[in-house]
């Protein structure tokens, strides 16, 4: 079983992630992790932080000579800003002290108020520093390890933006595994050029008026093995695990597997994936079920949709709020200038998907070394092909 814990605050010294349960012999370099972190900063309409936020990756443990040791892998993602900025250095010091300027005008749409209430804080910064999406950088490191792990079985995880604000991509255009560089090359990570243009136009328009935009990302998994997840217990269903993992991403409010809400409105006769045998293997021509039937991966393309609300921090004072201490009414303040984080969220959605698949692949195939893990996975596929069902 894969376990991982992330730690670290947005403007603190560093983020830290520890991943326990990886087999030995997985090749990984700081450069690969850095490369994936750079993908997390992609997207038209990101504010200045994304530009100066060079993620400094340090592998602290669990890797020797470029390969995992089976022991927990710990990675730091340093915060260059923390070192540079006297303000943050003081504000986020771990040494005893107190803040000079507590933040009490809580921001709707953020953890600020509920977090202060839960934890007994009188400074919203004690909440928001951890609630910030900056934390996803630590997840992305874990996700890259997961991608490498399942990549050894030929699994590829990708994503693309299918809606940004009111602009939607054509459902007819779905990238293949070879198109993923093209996705990242798009400023909005959208493979439908017309839709991409409309998305950028919408970002520009909102940028002018200080507003923000949400959207929807489609996650795709090619080459997932048959048999991940299970129907035997509710918490072993692959779709349940995916939904939980994807909904855990900051600002995500909806998750669909396959056709999701759409299929709820269709008659049964049009809602399922017909099954064929092509002489060699089972074939489904549609992806209504998103590659998961009965909570188990079918071996077909896995499809999930992830809906993100628009950022709650706007550049114009429109959102009514309250000072949590004085109770004076106010308006939610301006803090950042990203118009949208949807393209980048896709990378985090890939991360969470890869972590779920890696967890399930390790559960099914076991293995303490990559050789053992891969051998078991291949033996399963071979036995299936040679058996009565193959």
Tokens for 30, please give them.
């700081």
Helix (H, G, I), strand (E, B) or coil at 24: strand
Give CA–CA dist 253/66, Å, rounded.
Answer: 38
CB of residue 186 to a copy of itself, shortest distance in Å: 19
By beta-carbon proximity to a copy of itself, the closer residue of 181 and 327 is 327
Q: Which residues pair with 296 in a beta bridge?
A: 229, 293
CB of residue 351 to a copy of itself, shortest distance in Å: 10
By beta-carbon proximity to a copy of itself, the closer residue of 92 and 188 is 92
Give CA–CA dist 118/172, Å, rounded.
Answer: 46
Tokens for 264, please give them.
């709820």
By beta-carbon proximity to a copy of itself, the closer residue of 185 and 209 is 209
Contact 214, 342 (CB under 8 A): yes
Residue whose token pair is 């002489």: 279
Give CA–CA dist 156/354, Å, rounded.
Answer: 9
CB of residue 45 to a copy of itself, shortest distance in Å: 12
- Distance of CA 21 to CAs 74, 236, 280, Å? 12, 18, 35
Q: Which residues pair with 330 in a beta bridge?
A: 321
CB of residue 199 to a copy of itself, shortest distance in Å: 12
CB of residue 235 to a copy of itself, shortest distance in Å: 7
Give CA–CA dist 356/350, Å, rounded.
Answer: 10
Question: Where do the H-state alpha helices sit in 80-135?
Answer: 80-84, 86-91, 112-119, 125-131
- Distance of CA 303 to CAs 5, 154, 167, 210, 290, Å? 26, 17, 20, 33, 4
By beta-carbon proximity to a copy of itself, the closer residue of 186 and 351 is 351
The span from the first CA to the last CA of the chain, in angstroms, equals 29
By beta-carbon proximity to a copy of itself, the closer residue of 54 and 266 is 266
By beta-carbon proximity to a copy of itself, the closer residue of 115 and 179 is 115
CB of residue 126 to a copy of itself, shortest distance in Å: 5
CB of residue 169 to a copy of itself, shortest distance in Å: 13
Q: Determine how many CB atoms are found less than 10 A away from the CB of residue 317.
A: 13
Give CA–CA dist 145/63, Å, rounded.
Answer: 12
By beta-carbon proximity to a copy of itself, the closer residue of 84 and 378 is 378
DSSP characters for 269-284? GGTS---EE-SSSEE-
CB of residue 382 to a copy of itself, shortest distance in Å: 10
CB of residue 188 to a copy of itself, shortest distance in Å: 14
By beta-carbon proximity to a copy of itself, the closer residue of 50 and 113 is 113
By beta-carbon proximity to a copy of itself, the closer residue of 85 and 179 is 85
Tokens for 150, please give them.
């399942």
């Amino acid at each position: 079983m894969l376990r991982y814990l992330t730690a670290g605050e947005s403007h603190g010294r560093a983020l830290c992630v520890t991943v326990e349960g990886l087999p030995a012999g997985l090749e990984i370099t700081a450069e690969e992790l850095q490369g994936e972190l750079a993908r997390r900063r992609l997207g038209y309409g990101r504010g200045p932080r994304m530009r100066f936020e060079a993620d400094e990756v340090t592998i602290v443990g669990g890797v020797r000579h470029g390969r995992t040791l089976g022991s927990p892998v710990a990675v730091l993602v340093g915060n260059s800003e923390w070192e540079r900025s006297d303000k943050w250095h003081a504000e986020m010091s771990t040494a005893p002290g107190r803040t000079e300027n507590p933040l009490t005008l809580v921001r709707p749409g953020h953890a600020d108020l509920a977090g202060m209430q839960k934890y007994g804080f009188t400074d919203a910064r004690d909440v928001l520093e951890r609630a910030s999406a900056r934390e996803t950088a630590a997840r992305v490191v874990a996700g890259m390890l997961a991608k490498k792990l399942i990549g050894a079985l030929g699994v590829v995880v990708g994503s693309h933006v299918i809606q940004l604000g009111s602009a939607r991509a054509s459902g007819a255009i779905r990238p293949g595994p070879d198109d993923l560089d093209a996705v990242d090359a798009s400023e909005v990570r959208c493979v439908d050029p017309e839709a991409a243009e409309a998305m950028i136009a919408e970002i520009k328009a909102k940028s002018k008026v200080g507003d923000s935009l949400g959207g929807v990302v489609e996650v795709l998994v090619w080459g997932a093995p048959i048999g991940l997840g299970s129907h035997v217990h509710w918490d072993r269903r692959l779709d349940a695990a995916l939904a939980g993992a994807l909904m855990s991403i900051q600002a995500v409010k909806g998750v669909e597997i396959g056709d999701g809400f759409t299929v709820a409105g269709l008659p049964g006769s049009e809602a399922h994936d017909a099954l064929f045998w092509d002489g060699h293997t089972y074939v489904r021509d549609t992806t209504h079920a998103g590659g998961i039937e009965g909570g188990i991966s079918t071996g077909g393309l896995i499809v999930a949709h992830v809906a993100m609300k628009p950022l709650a921090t706007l550049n114009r004072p429109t959102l009514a709020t309250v000072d949590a201490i004085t109770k004076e009414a106010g308006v939610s303040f301006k803090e950042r200038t990203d118009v949208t984080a949807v393209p980048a969220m896709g990378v985090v959605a890939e991360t969470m998907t890869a972590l779920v698949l890696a967890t399930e692949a390790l559960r099914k195939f076991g293995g303490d070394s990559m050789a053992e893990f891969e051998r078991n996975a291949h033996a399963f596929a071979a036995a299936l092909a040679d058996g009565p069902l193959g």
